[in-house]
Amino acid sequence: MVMCTVKKQCENQCIIKIEKVTGMDVTALLLAGGKSSRMGTNKAMLPMFQKASIENIATELNKIAGHVLLISNSPDEYSFLGLPMVPDQYHGMGPLGGLHAGLTASKTDTVFVSACDMPFIKAAVMEEMLGNLENYDALVPEIDGQLHPLFAIYRKTCLPILTSCLEARELKMVHFLEKLNAKIMKHTEFQLYTKNHKLFSYLFYNMNNPQEYEEAKKIESHFNPQI
């Protein structure tokens, strides 16, 4: 068992751009399989910046990845995005099931996974993460002490461990991460954090209930997207 390691440190155009930054081709996985039970409505479709939140997220993912896959069991609901869709192979297994479906379907070794409840993500922070992956099997940001495994990078080398977790019904992300050779990238390691602490904190904001969505709308009113 290898524990997590903490260490300091459009289509064709997208591929060229990311290869210049990281020397790798990347697939983005947009997870849209949650039940949104705490929100009471589909949080992916909530309006942000005059569009459905998931549409804004897809736009940012397209900037850093040559391929974007939507991981969902509801193809009709998201057809307007025009993205190829991949259903879960392990149904009812939560985010690990979605990650497994995306990693299996990806034609690239490396994937950047994003949940659909992070309305302020920007391509710049993803590029910085990809530039720090090095030889690790995964990279997960830790922001103010909180891990973000659903805004992270994984390689296909994670698949055997991931499959083992699913078969054993060990569905907690933290248990999965503990078994990987994963880099934990703290917020203080980001150049973007050094440039603008306040704006950086918004990039990892997620909304899971009506109160958090209300707060997101307040942030939206003064959020400067130039980063």
- 19-24: Cβ within 8 A, 24+ apart: 21/127, 21/130, 21/131, 22/127, 22/130, 22/131, 22/133, 24/108, 24/109, 24/110, 24/130, 24/133
Candidates 186, 207, 206; CA nearest to 132 is 186
DSSP code string of 130-195: HTT-TT-SEEEEEETTEE-TTEEEEEGGGHHHHHHHHHTT---HHHHHHTS-EEEEEGGG-HHHHH
Query: Known binder of ligand: residue 152?
Result: no
76 marked ligand binding residue: no
Is 33 known to sit in a ligand binding site? Answer: yes
Residue 115 CB burial class (10 angstroms; 0-12, 13-18, ≥19): buried
SS3 assignment, position 24: coil
Q: Is 17 annotated as a binding residue?
A: no
Is-contact 128 21, C-beta < 8 A? Answer: no
The answer to whether 31 is a known ligand-binding residue is: yes
Radius of gyration (C-alpha) of the chain in whole angstroms = 16
Q: Look up residue 41 and give its amino acid.
A: T
Taking residue 13's Cβ as centre, other Cβ atoms within 10 Å add up to 11
Ligand-binding site membership of 66 (annotated): no
Mark the binding-site residues for GTP, compressed into ranges.
Answer: 31-33, 43, 88, 117
Mark the binding-site residues for Mg(2+), compressed into ranges.
Answer: 117
Mark the binding-site residues, compressed into ranges.
Answer: 31-33, 43, 88, 117
